[in-house]
Structure 1
Amino acid sequence: MDVAAYLTRIGATRPAAPTSATLVALHRAHARSVPFEDYDIHTGVAISLEPDALERKIVHRRRGGYCYELNGLFGTLLRELGFAVTLVAAFSLDDDGARGPEYDHLRLLVDAVDGSWIADVGNGARWPEPVPHRPGVHGRVQVRRDGDVWWTSERRGDGRWERGWAWTPQPRELADFSERNRYQQYDPGSDFTGRRLAALATPTGRISLVNGAFAELDQGVRTEREVSAAEEWALLADRFGIVLGRSWAERVPQLAAT
């Protein structure tokens, strides 16, 4: 990995040591620089989880990606910088204990020299910083544990807690997510095939584009408006740094077998 190029991509400098403060700074820089987005799916570009392909896309082509891509590559960067990183397979968890599909999300458990953290730069730009890896309320994120099952909840603007991803601590490899990565790209039941989206953290909140609706959260105030295809294209470049080779309207349908 070209660590220097990756750090330049997110506007960070090489840290002297793998400390908690360093992790927080890197996570914040990444969340504000690299968008969570799925436009490759809608322009017919296959998403590869090969490390070299991820580096070319995110670092050198300055694109974003979704959880497998963003957390997968960020985990590699953190290891290069001396952090101990465990990839875990996350799933939805209902109040009655019913689990969703395994590998539906990729999350990182990160050990710094002075603390343990949950990192997630692939969670729709909703986590600007990592969260302590221990049960309790940590700002707008609550961490809970029941045996070997951990999960997080996030406090929404109306004050309610919304359950998020759950996981067990079993270590995974990035290649283990390949089958679910394929599902997310091609299956009609995927959350991504019917939803064109981009999201990016900002110093005062978050911006997002979802199927042509642009929303901005700025110091707790949320605004939203519909935009034309031409304005969506411009916003992708101007606000998210996403420059596409072709429009989603020009996509050639791909079969899952390709």
Structure 2
Amino acid sequence: MHCDIFDLSRYFRRINYTCPAAADSTTLHAIMRHQLFSVPFENLDVQAGKVVSLVPEEISDKILHQGRGGYCYEVNGLFAMALEALGIPYRFVAARPMFYPVRRPKTHMALVAEVDGRQWLCDLGFGRYGIRAPIALDQLNSDIKQDFDTFKLTCDAHGEYLLQAKVEGEWCNQYGFDLSPQEWIDFAPANYLNSTHPDAIFVQKRLIVQHCPEGRMILLGDMLKTVTANGVEKQQLAEEEIDAVLQSRFGLVSRT
């Protein structure tokens, strides 16, 4: 992938990153955390009736210049541009969301970066129970604590990885993937489905997630949830309150 207008220094300003950067695992961990805590997961374009663009230059412009966020193809796509600019090898992988009651297609985009002799799962766009730092693919069958969340990664004999999150004391499947490398164009059908299909959650409801060191804020429809180690606080919003909450809690000025 090549993005002609990606500006690494502007990316660092957008994610509030001021430390030295190199093609190493320290930088990989740091920029994933900084982006996760600075750029919201959001589907406002879909809610406005738009099909989300997968053009790298348009994603870069939207997030870096317009101060927006995006859903998985956009926030993980932006992260891929940063890895490329830093000289960190990576591949896109197609992941199958597995928390639904029925089997779903591989509609989720994640990344596997290769640095310091290890492969790392990176993902900045999986909503509430998304990982909060890279996970080494050789760190299998063990509890992986990230802040107040706990994850587990397993791999079967066929090379199929499964990411799980501990939810209320129980392991819950999040998504499965293998290491078959994907290209931008491979996600075009899934992106169109997520942008337009009436059964897609992104079409049905407003969904904004902003992670922070203490937890995460989630706006689903008109319900605002604040999730911390102490529990979940819920607040029902009136429609006329939405714009102010988008700006004050998520840094999003416009819904279109």
Partner residue of 1:239 out of 226, 249, 254: 249
Q: Name the SS of the counterpart of 1:100 in structure 2.
A: coil
- Match among 119, 122, 127 for residue 131 of structure 2: 127
Residue in structure 2 matched with residue 6 of structure 1 by the alignment: 11
Instruction: Report the 3-state secondary structure (helix = DSSP H, G, I; strand = E; otherwise coil) of the residue aligned with 1:185.
Output: helix
1:219: how far off? 2.7
Consecutive unaligned residues of structure 1, counting only runs of 5 or more, are: 247-258
DSSP 3-state at the match of 2:13: helix
Give 1:115's match in structure 2, choosing from 92, 114, 118: 118
TM-superposed CA distance for 1:14, in Å, is: 6.2
Q: Which runs of 5+ in 2 are unaligned?
A: 1-5
Amino acid at match of 1:117: W
Q: Hey, what does 1:49 align to over in structure 2?
A: 54
Note the C-alpha offset of 1:95: 11
Cα distance in 2 between the residues matched to 1:15 and 1:114: 21
2:224 maps to 214
Deviation per CA, 1:18-44: give whole Å up to 9, x if none.
Answer: 221211111110111000110111112
Corresponding residue for residue 205 of structure 1 = 215
| Contact in 1 for aligned 2:93/2:110 (Cα 8 Å) | yes
Distance 2:70 2:193 in 1: 15
Of residues 156, 161, 167, the one that matches 1:150 is 161
CA contact (8 A) 2:51 2:196 kept: no
Return the alpha-carbon distance in structure 1 between the equivalents of residues 178 and 132 of structure 2: 23
What is the distance in 2 between the residues matched to 1:94 and 1:74? 25
2:202 pairs with 1:192: yes
Matched, 1:81 2:80: no
1:163 lines up with 2:173 in the alignment: yes
Query: Which of the numbers 100, 105, 110 marks the counterpart of 1:101?
Result: 105
Q: Distance in 1 between matches of 2:100 and 2:127?
A: 22
Please give the root-mean-square deviation of Cα atoms over the aligned residues, in Å. 1.9
Report if aligned partners of 1:32, 1:128 keep a CA contact under 8 Å in 2.
Answer: no
Distance change (3 Å), C-alpha of 1:226 and 1:45? same
Answer with 10-19 or 143-152: which moved more: 10-19
* Per-residue deviation, 1:188: 0.9
Instruction: Give structure 1 regions of 4+ aligned residues with deviation exceeding 4 angstroms.
Output: 93-96
Are residues 95 and 184 of structure 1, via their aligned partners in 2, closer, same or farther at CA, if it must alter by over 3 Å? closer
Check the 8 A contact 2:154/2:161 in 1, yes or no: yes
Counterpart-to-counterpart distance in 2, 1:59 and 1:84: 22
- Partner Cα distance (2:49, 2:63) in 1: 17
Match for 2:151 among 137, 141, 147?
141
With the length of structure 1 as denominator, give the TM-score of the two structures. Answer: 0.89
* Aligned residues of 1:131 and 1:141 also touching (Cα < 8 A): no
> Matched residue of 1:181: which SS?
helix
- Greater Cα shift, 120-129 or 165-174: 120-129
Question: Would you say the 8 A contact 2:120–2:137 is kept in 1?
Answer: yes
Q: 1:75 to 1:195 in 2, by over 3 A?
A: same
Secondary structure of 2:246's match? Answer: helix
Aligned residues: 243
**Are 2:233 and 1:223 aligned?**
yes
Q: Distance in 2 between matches of 1:67 and 1:95?
A: 17
Aligned residue in 2 for 1:66: 71
Q: TM-score, normalised by structure 2?
A: 0.89
Describe the shift of the 1:51–1:95 C-alpha distance in structure 2 as closer, same or farther (beyond 3 A). Answer: closer
Letter in 2 for 1:108: L
Structure 2 CA distance for aligned equivalents of residues 15 and 238 of structure 1: 30
For 1:122 and 1:202, locate their aligned partners in 2 and report how far apart those are by CA, in whole Å: 14
Conserved? CA contact 1:204–1:219, under 8 Å? yes
